[in-house]
Chain A
Amino acid sequence: MGNRPVSKINVDTKQDKKRNMKLKEIIEKLNLTVICANDQFENEVSGGYCSDLLSDVMGNATEGQIWITIQVHKNIIAVASLKELSAIVIVKGLEPGEDTIETAKKENIVLLSSNETAFDLAGKLYGLIN
């Protein structure tokens, strides 16, 4: 029967494997609390990174990822900005200090929170986008 062009098969496979999700869908599906955000809800999320050492995140996270962490120090904002991450999710219901929130607003970084552990949240996020 008719030959399908190879390129089309590739496109299909890619779409099956990884779904591009908008930040607002992820916030909704993972029941995340928005601590601060501006107009980034339509932005696409490329994946996730899970780490609490900022030097590790600076070295290994990539643009568009959601960063899951228990770290609440205000330096997380600068790292997210530098790496152009789509959002930071602070897990376990930990609350960042005022200085962290103020810096996030100033740097236009999306700061989210979840009552789940990093393990549970990362598992759900992985299920959503892979």
Chain B
Amino acid sequence: MRWVKADMHIHSVLSPCGDLDMSPSKIISEALGKGLEMIAVTDHNSTLHVPVTVELGKENGITVIPGAELTSAEEIHCLAFFEDAKQTEKFQTFIDKHSSSVPNNASRFGMQIIVNEKEEIIGEVAELLIMALSAPIEEIEQTVHLLGGIFIPAHINRTANGIYSQIGFIPEGLSADAFEFSGNTTKEALVVKYPELGTYNLITNSDAHYLKDIGSKITEYYLEKPSFDEWKMALKNQNNRTLRTL
């Protein structure tokens, strides 16, 4: 068992707000350079960059967990992670069913392009990915869990698009596997402000939109090896797996 450095919230060039330099291959090299062993590319309302990033991760010796950052009907951002390609594809179907048809305006919001491992553009997503899905947060959580995934409300302490800014408090019956916080705060400080968080694990990630920000905020997990199952155990403090934020 050892401590594994992980940044599980990174945007690629597919996110309209993601820098054009955020290609899957550059994200992988940057993460390796920063000493990370496990990452996730979590684009807004899309998993379409997951396959190429997972593949590049395998080739370069870094674990890439399939994921996405969803915008719920209440405009709450939440992270979802899946074990394999099959579950990820099923979740993409759910996203497609609930996505809005508002088109992206690339000059205003940024391009939403899909690239291959050689950074060649192979596609573009037409609908604006930062719009809210028509599914409420509970439905997203239940769908993620039905697919065996991990559900983590994102940057809960931010003044925009966090669970507290949007709906005030954690709704009864919502089953989160952990909560992600952002900025220079600590779990202790957050629990003073939101006592209901006391029983959960809190993690932090970079939410990088630029290469230089990858790994700027990380959580360390005590694991046998970096993998979806090991990470899931750490989030639940099972079998001696655990985590620490620095």
Pair count A-B, CB < 8 A: 30
Interface residue B200 (Cβ < 8 Å from any Cβ of A): no
Query: Which of B73, B136, B137, B165 contacts A53, CB < 8 Å?
Result: B165
Q: Is the CB of A75 within 8 A of B136?
A: no
Closest to B137 in A: A73
Contact A71 B171 (CB under 8 A): no
The answer to whether A30 has its CB under 8 Å from any CB of chain B is no
- Interchain CA distance A123-B152 in the complex, whole Å: 39
Given known A-B contacts A71-B74, A73-B74, A79 and B136 have beta carbons under 8 A apart: no
Check A79 against B168 for contact (C-beta < 8 Å): yes
Given contacts A71-B74, A73-B74, contact A78 B168 (CB under 8 A): yes
Interface of B is mostly: loop
Q: A71-B74, A73-B136, A97-B136 are known contacts. Are A54 and B171 too (CB-CB below 8 A)? A: no
Instruction: Please encode chain A, from 50 to 76, with 1 for each CB lying within 8 Å of some chain B CB and 0 for all others.
Output: 000111111000000000000101110
Q: B73: which A residues are within 8 A, CB to CB? A: 73
Residues in A with CB closer than 8 Å to B168 are 54-55, 57-58, 75, 78-79
* Top-5 shortest CB links A-B: A54-B168, A75-B167, A55-B165, A54-B167, A73-B167
| B-binding residues in A (CB < 8 A) | 53-58, 71, 73-75, 78-79, 97
Give me 19 other A-B pairs in contact (C-beta within 8 A), A54-B167, A56-B165, A97-B136 excluded: A53-B166, A54-B165, A54-B168, A55-B164, A55-B168, A57-B168, A71-B74, A71-B167, A73-B73, A73-B74, A73-B136, A73-B167, A74-B171, A75-B168, A75-B169, A75-B171, A78-B168, A78-B169, A79-B168
13 pairs, A vs B, C-beta closer than 8 Å: A53-B165, A53-B166, A54-B167, A55-B164, A55-B166, A71-B74, A71-B167, A73-B137, A73-B171, A74-B171, A75-B168, A75-B169, A75-B171
